[in-house]
């Protein structure tokens, strides 16, 4: 387990091995979330980074319910 220290300005440096493993870049935005007394940090992906993320995933067919239709 890797640790980091909170600075007097409430800043934390993400350890190098985690930055490399997650391919984090300077200036990249991160999302912070509090969950059950823990802090989750996730990178916010740009549209370019999201391109192709679902490629090869199984296609699920969308079927509308008859009650959802506006025309009889």
- What CATH number corresponds to the domain at position 30? 2.10.260.10
* 33/70: higher pLDDT: 33
Is pTM beyond 0.75 here? no
Number of Cβ within 10 Å of residue 31's Cβ equals 10
pLDDT, tens digit (0-9, with 9 covering 90-100), for 16-31? 999 999 999 999 999 9
- Please state the domain count of the chain: 1
How many Å apart are CA 35 and CA 24, to the nearest integer? 22
* Residue 65 confidence (pLDDT): 80
Domain of residue 37: give its range.
Answer: 12-47
Task: Give yes or no for residue 53 having a pLDDT over 90.
Answer: no
Note whether residue 35 is domain-resident: yes
């Amino acid at each position: 387990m890797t640790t980091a220290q909170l600075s007097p300005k409430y800043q934390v440096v993400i350890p190098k091995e985690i930055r490399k493993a997650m391919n984090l870049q300077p200036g990249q935005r991160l999302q912070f979330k509090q969950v059950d007394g823990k802090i989750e940090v996730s990178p916010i992906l740009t549209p370019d980074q999201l391109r192709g993320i679902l490629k090869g995933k199984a296609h699920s067919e969308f079927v509308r319910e008859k009650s959802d239709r506006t025309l009889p």
